[in-house]
């Protein structure tokens, strides 16, 4: 574990004050998955037309930059000697059809660069020990379900861009795991969390009930021994709320804000604040048609000091940010499964990120934890409060 590049008081610094080592594919994968023992690895990418992987036709499409990273960084990286150095085998690349939504189940058909149609279940999940998914839409939920069924390990890296490569995937994941565990221990077994938001001069509070639940962590490590999927970049502590109530603002796009009203763990209506009223109406119509769309499935806290990348996959891992997710949560240990939704397209898991660059119109006034009869401030104005900093700067006991 090498911490030479990290400042002493890193949790109180801006990301611009921190230096990052150069990205190394062997370092990332060895840290996350352990030393190789002949495991077979492959890369999956999503494409609007998956047969476009034939002869790598998709590389000529400038809108598919994420998939290009999957090809250049991982597929070509494996072909450049990384596999042998890591004692892995394989290194093939395949494409499946873009799902159209975050964490929606993937179609079984996939294609190889020769243009042959294959089956994810029969030809990929059963033949590879480690599967890396570089995609536009997150595949964490469906891949987690499949890894439990077929016994492989893997990682999901949706939304990949150069900032993420240079920072969020270049850090030492042993340290990321330690930091996540420190904060997890500080937050675990909380009774509830309250988050105060301000928008257009008015304040609103969302209450999320965790009822003594054990906190979980996304820490990037996926060692041998059991099927698991890492979400990279990693670095968060999260809960699957047992219920929720209150009101919280939601940014639909650059011009529209609504207030989401929550009762008994579900959003039941959106209230217009400003912007395009048609977006509010459309959301309310969807909630009326399928109430599970509004189910609150996650509360997450970032643990890393990283620059904002413009992609939620990294930005939700930044210390001082909070995200609340709606939809399925079975991949997080929850009970909201795809079969509970009226239609397949509704069974997504969508993170709602609150961060200064993403939601400057919304002020995160304060986030509080209630635990053992005590109220503790965690975040104020997108900055970690003293409790969070103290947790992260503490030492883990030897038996943790």
Q: Grade residue 6 by pLDDT with cuts at 50, 70 and 90.
A: very low
Q: What's the CA gap between 247 and 273, in Å, rounded?
A: 13
| 61 pLDDT higher than 60 | yes
Q: What's the CA gap between 99 and 250, in Å, rounded?
A: 24
| 172 pLDDT higher than 80 | yes
pLDDT in tens, 296-339: 999 999 999 999 999 999 999 999 999 999 999 999 999 999 99
Domain ranges of the chain: 21-166, 173-393
Complete edge-to-edge strand list for the sheet that includes strand 383-384 = 266-274, 257-263, 243-251, 202-209, 192-199, 363-371, 374-380, 383-384
pLDDT confidence of residue 399: 43
Q: Which CATH architecture has domain 21-166?
A: 3-Layer(aba) Sandwich (3.40)
Encoded tokens for 273 = 């604040």
Q: Residue 217 — φ and ψ, nearest 5°? A: -135, 145
Q: E strands along 157-295, which residues?
A: 192-199, 202-209, 216-218, 228-231, 236-239, 243-251, 257-263, 266-274
Q: Grade residue 40 by pLDDT with cuts at 50, 70 and 90.
A: very high
| 400 pLDDT higher than 50 | no
- Model-level pTM? 0.93
pLDDT confidence of residue 2: 41
Bond prior to 287 in cis (omega within 30° of 0): no
Q: Grade residue 396 by pLDDT with cuts at 50, 70 and 90.
A: confident
Over the chain, what is the mean pLDDT? 94
pLDDT in tens, 191-234: 999 999 999 999 999 999 999 999 999 999 999 999 999 999 99
| 5 pLDDT higher than 50 | no
pLDDT confidence of residue 4: 37
Q: Is the four-CA dihedral 304, 307, 313, 315 of positive or negative sign?
A: positive
| 147 pLDDT higher than 50 | yes
| 169 pLDDT higher than 60 | yes
Counted residue by residue, the chain has a size of 400
Q: Grade residue 1 by pLDDT with cuts at 50, 70 and 90.
A: very low
Neighbours of 211 (CB within 10 A): 12
Q: What's the CA gap between 315 and 67, in Å, rounded?
A: 20
| 14 pLDDT higher than 80 | no
Q: Grade residue 79 by pLDDT with cuts at 50, 70 and 90.
A: very high
Q: What's the CA gap between 86 and 226, in Å, rounded?
A: 20
pLDDT confidence of residue 3: 40
pLDDT in tens, 223-270: 999 999 999 999 999 999 999 999 999 999 989 999 999 999 999 999
For residues 138 and 106, the answer to whether their CB atoms sit within 8 Å is: no
| 81 pLDDT higher than 60 | yes
Close Cβ partners of 43 (under 8 Å, ≥ 6 residues apart): 70, 71, 74, 75, 78, 91, 92, 93, 94, 132, 133, 134
Per DSSP, what are the bridge partners of residue 248? Answer: 260
Q: Report the candidate in 154, 305, 169, 299 with the shortest Cα–Cα distance to residue 237.
A: 299
H or E element that contains 301: strand 296-302
Q: Grade residue 18 by pLDDT with cuts at 50, 70 and 90.
A: confident
């Amino acid at each position: 574990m090498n911490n030479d590049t990290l400042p002493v008081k890193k949790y109180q610094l801006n990301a611009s004050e921190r230096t990052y080592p150069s990205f190394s594919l062997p370092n990332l994968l060895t840290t996350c998955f352990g030393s190789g023992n002949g495991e077979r690895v492959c890369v999956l990418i999503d494409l609007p037309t998956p047969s476009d992987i034939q002869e790598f036709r998709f590389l000529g499409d400038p809108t598919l930059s994420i998939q290009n990273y999957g090809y250049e960084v991982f597929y070509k990286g494996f072909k450049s000697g990384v596999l042998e150095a890591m004692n892995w085998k394989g290194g093939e690349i395949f494409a499946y059809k873009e799902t159209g939504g975050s964490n929606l189940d993937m179609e079984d058909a996939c294609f190889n660069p020769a243009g042959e149609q294959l089956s994810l279940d029969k030809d990929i999940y059963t033949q590879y020990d480690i599967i890396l998914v570089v995609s536009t839409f997150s595949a964490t939920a469906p891949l987690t379900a499949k890894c439990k069924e077929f016994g492989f390990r893997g990682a999901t890296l949706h939304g990949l861009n150069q900032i993420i490569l240079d920072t969020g995937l270049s850090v030492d994941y042993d340290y990321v795991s330690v930091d996540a565990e420190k904060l997890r221990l500080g937050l675990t077994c909380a009774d509830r969390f309250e988050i105060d938001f301000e928008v257009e001069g008015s304040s609103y509070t969302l209450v999320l009930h965790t009822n003594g639940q054990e906190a979980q962590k996304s820490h990037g490590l996926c060692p041998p021994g059991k099927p698991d999927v890492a979400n990279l970049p990693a670095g968060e502590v999260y809960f699957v709320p047992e219920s929720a109530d209150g009101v919280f603002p939601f940014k639909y796009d650059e011009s529209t804000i609504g207030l989401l009203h929550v009762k008994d763990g579900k959003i039941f209506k959106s209230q217009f604040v400003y912007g395009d009223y048609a977006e509010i109406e459309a959301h309310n119509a969807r909630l009326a048609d399928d109430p599970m769309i509004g189910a609150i499935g996650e509360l997450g806290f970032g643990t890393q000091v990283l620059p904002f990348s413009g992609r939620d996959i990294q930005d939700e891992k930044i210390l001082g940010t909070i995200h609340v997710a709606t939809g399925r949560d079975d991949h997080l240990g929850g009970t909201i499964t795809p079969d509970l939704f009226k239609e397949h397209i509704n069974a997504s898991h969508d993170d709602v990120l609150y961060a200064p660059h993403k939601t400057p119109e919304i002020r995160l006034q304060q986030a509080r934890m209630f635990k053992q009869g005590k109220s503790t401030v965690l975040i104020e104005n997108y900055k970690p409060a003293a409790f969070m900093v103290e947790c992260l700067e503490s030492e883990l006991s030897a038996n943790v």
